[in-house]
Structure 1
Amino acid sequence: MEIEFLGTGAGSPSKTRNVSSLALKLLDERNEVWLFDCGEGTQHQILKTSIRPRKVTKIFITHLHGDHIFGLPGFLASRANQGGEAGLTIYGPEGIERFVRTSLQVTQTRLPYKLTFKLLANPGVAFEDETFKVSFDTLDHRITSFGFRVEEKPHPGELLIEKVKAAKVPMGPVYGQLKAGKTVTLADGRRLDGHDFIGPAQLGRTVAILGDTRKTEHTLQLAQDADVLVHESTFGPEEAKLARQYFHTTNLQAAKMAKAAGAKRLLLNHISARYIGKGAAMLEKSAQKIFAPTHVVHDLETIDIPFAKEKTACVN
């Protein structure tokens, strides 16, 4: 699991930062890539990466401000021209379907794949299957804005090969049956419970990815014990009043929230163009005084999200 930041700027593109978009790369987990927001120029940023548009199966839109959605029509059209045939689902606030379908209709763009929309309203679960759950909650912005919590479900434990060998289990299909947790009867009459030969399950990882917002307790719920929290930092440490006025967050407010939520890492994005060079470094260093594992991300930066070795659990 990796996060690749395609755009980390706020409002308008600058020479060093494109507008909002990030890719949650789940290639090992499910051979898919999920986008969160798709600002103008997202497809140009993707060209600088190893991401294949046809691998993008889901797009989660935090809110409908232009710097978060103006890249959608172009990306969807280009995906069609680059071998994308599998369906794609867009999750977002009321109005996202109208925006996309109107853009495609006016430009007479026809997609060869099925485009599905899941409109989000009341906080709840946007998506869930046997491997992942994506829940969402409202934030505090000038328009409806969502934060997403992506939870990976536990991975089944590995078959304890040495323990199987010690039990003198003959090699063959029985290994697979034990790994599946089945009870098997050997040729010598012994009955073995597969659960006795499986190690502890590996707990999945949790990532919280938030849209534009003022300080709100909903962030605390979304980010609770997250391995990674992606939070905006439009304003600097001395600009709390401006942040509230414009419905955004300071770096220090984000750091305090990450600490209160028990998050493992804080990645600050949505950085104003006035914070370049030393200014961006200041945002990071001042936030680190409150929450040490804070990092201001940059365009095209990739962050790996490894499993925590101590995070294990039993799965029935």
Structure 2
Amino acid sequence: MKLEFLGTGSGVPGKFRNVACTALRLLDECNSVWLFDCGEGTQQQILRSNLKPRKINKIFITHLHGDHIFGLPGLLSSRSFQGGNTPLTIYGPKGIKKYVCVSLGVSQTKLAYHINFVELTKPGKIMENNKFTVYMDTLDHGITSFGYRVVEHDHPGQLLVNKLKRDHVPSGPIYGQLKQGKTVQLKDGRKINGKDYLGPSVKGRIIAILGDTRKNNHSYGLAKNADVLVHESTFAAEDSKLAHDYYHSTNVQAAELAKRAHVKRLILTHISARYTGHMNRVLQKQAQKVFRNTRVVNDFDMINVPFNKHDYVISKK
């Protein structure tokens, strides 16, 4: 599980930061990539990464401001041209279906795959498969805006092979059944319960990705105990009035949430163009005074989200 930041700026594209898009790379877990928002130029950013558009099968839109959706029509079209023929699901506020369909219709774009639209109206569970459950809650941005919480299901414990050998359980396909916790009968008549030969389960990871918002109560539930919280940081602490007036957050407000919600790592993104050069370091240091494990990310930064909280690694492409 990795997070790759394809756009970390706010409002309009800049020389050093493109507008919002975060990719959750689940290639090892389910051979797919999920996008969170898709600002203008996202497909250009993808060209500079090793992501394959055909691997993208879910897109979660936080809200309908242009810097979060203007890249959708182009990406959806290119996905079709580049061999993507499997269905894709777009989750987002009411209106996202109309925006996409009108854009593709006016340009007479024909796709080689089907798009499923899930327009969200109620907070709670919005998706579940055999590996992940995704939750949504509303934020405070002056327009309908969502935050998403991705919860990985717990992994079964390791098969205790040494214990099986001590109990003279022969190896072979039977080990696979025991790994699944099934009860099997051996040739000598013994019945073996797989649960008796499994180590402790491994707790799944939690990623919280919040859309644009000012300080609000719902953010806590989305962020609680997350391995990684991705939070906007449009303004610095000294610009808190601007943040409130424009329905955004400061770096320190995000850090206060991370501390209160007991997250393991805070990632600050959606940085205003007014903060360039050394100001990025200032933003990070201000937040670190409240929550030490904070990082301001740049475009193409990638963070590995391991099971062991001490193994976080951020790298550049």
CA distance in 2, matches of 1:33, 1:129: 15
Q: Deviations over 1:247-278 (max 9, x none)?
A: 00000000001100111100000000111111
The answer for the alignment partner of 2:227 in structure 1 is 227
The answer for the alignment partner of 1:276 in structure 2 is 276
Q: Deviations over 1:185-216 (max 9, x none)?
A: 22233222111111111110000000000001
Aligned counterparts, 1:43-122, within 5 A: 43-122=43-122
Give, as a single letter, the amino acid of the residue that structure 2 aligns with 1:73.
P
CA distance in 2, matches of 1:136, 1:284: 27
Give the TM-score normalised by structure 2.
0.96
Cα displacement (A) at 1:168:
1.3
The answer for the alignment partner of 2:158 in structure 1 is 158
Residue aligned with 1:68, SS? helix
Give, as a single letter, the amino acid of the residue that structure 1 aligns with 2:197.
F
The answer for the alignment partner of 2:144 in structure 1 is 144
CA distance in 2, matches of 1:267, 1:183: 44
The answer for the alignment partner of 1:206 in structure 2 is 206
Give, as a single letter, the amino acid of the residue that structure 1 aligns with 2:162.
E
The answer for the alignment partner of 2:130 in structure 1 is 130
Residue aligned with 1:3, SS? strand
Give, as a single letter, the amino acid of the residue that structure 1 aligns with 2:137.
D
Give, as a single letter, the amino acid of the residue that structure 2 aligns with 1:79.
R
Consecutive unaligned residues of structure 1, counting only runs of 5 or more, are: 311-316
Give, as a single letter, the amino acid of the residue that structure 2 aligns with 1:37.
D
Corresponding residue pairs, total = 310
Aligned counterparts, 1:282-293, within 5 A: 282-293=282-293
1:174 equivalent to 2:156? Answer no
Residue aligned with 2:238, SS? coil
Residue aligned with 2:267, SS? strand
Consecutive unaligned residues of structure 2, counting only runs of 5 or more, are: 311-317
1:192 equivalent to 2:196? Answer no
Q: Deviations over 1:26-77 (max 9, x none)?
A: 0000000000000000000000111000000000000000000000000000
Give, as a single letter, the amino acid of the residue that structure 1 aligns with 2:247.
F
CA contact (8 A) 2:227 2:309 kept: no
Give, as a single letter, the amino acid of the residue that structure 1 aligns with 2:275.
Y
Residue aligned with 1:192, SS? strand
Give, as a single letter, the amino acid of the residue that structure 2 aligns with 1:177.
Q
CA distance in 2, matches of 1:185, 1:111: 51
CA distance in 1, matches of 2:227, 2:274: 29
The answer for the alignment partner of 1:250 in structure 2 is 250
CA distance in 1, matches of 2:249, 2:53: 32
Cα displacement (A) at 1:309:
7.1
Q: Deviations over 1:6-36 (max 9, x none)?
A: 0000101111000000100000000000000
Residue aligned with 2:207, SS? strand
Residue aligned with 2:237, SS? coil
CA distance in 1, matches of 2:91, 2:65: 15
Q: Quickly say closer, same or farther: Cα 1:30–1:13, change in 2 above 3 A.
A: same
Residue aligned with 1:63, SS? coil
CA distance in 2, matches of 1:213, 1:295: 19
CA distance in 1, matches of 2:107, 2:259: 47
Larger CA deviation: 204-213 vs 177-186: 177-186
CA distance in 2, matches of 1:222, 1:88: 25
The answer for the alignment partner of 1:303 in structure 2 is 303
Give, as a single letter, the amino acid of the residue that structure 1 aligns with 2:245.
Q
Cα displacement (A) at 1:180:
2.0
Q: Deviations over 1:121-152 (max 9, x none)?
A: 12111211121011000000021000000000
RMSD: 1.1
CA distance in 2, matches of 1:92, 1:56: 16
Percentage of identical aligned residues: 60
Give, as a single letter, the amino acid of the residue that structure 1 aligns with 2:103.
S
Cα displacement (A) at 1:163:
1.0
Q: Quickly say closer, same or farther: Cα 1:24–1:309, change in 2 above 3 A.
A: closer
Residue aligned with 1:239, SS? helix
CA distance in 2, matches of 1:156, 1:67: 40
The answer for the alignment partner of 2:314 in structure 1 is none
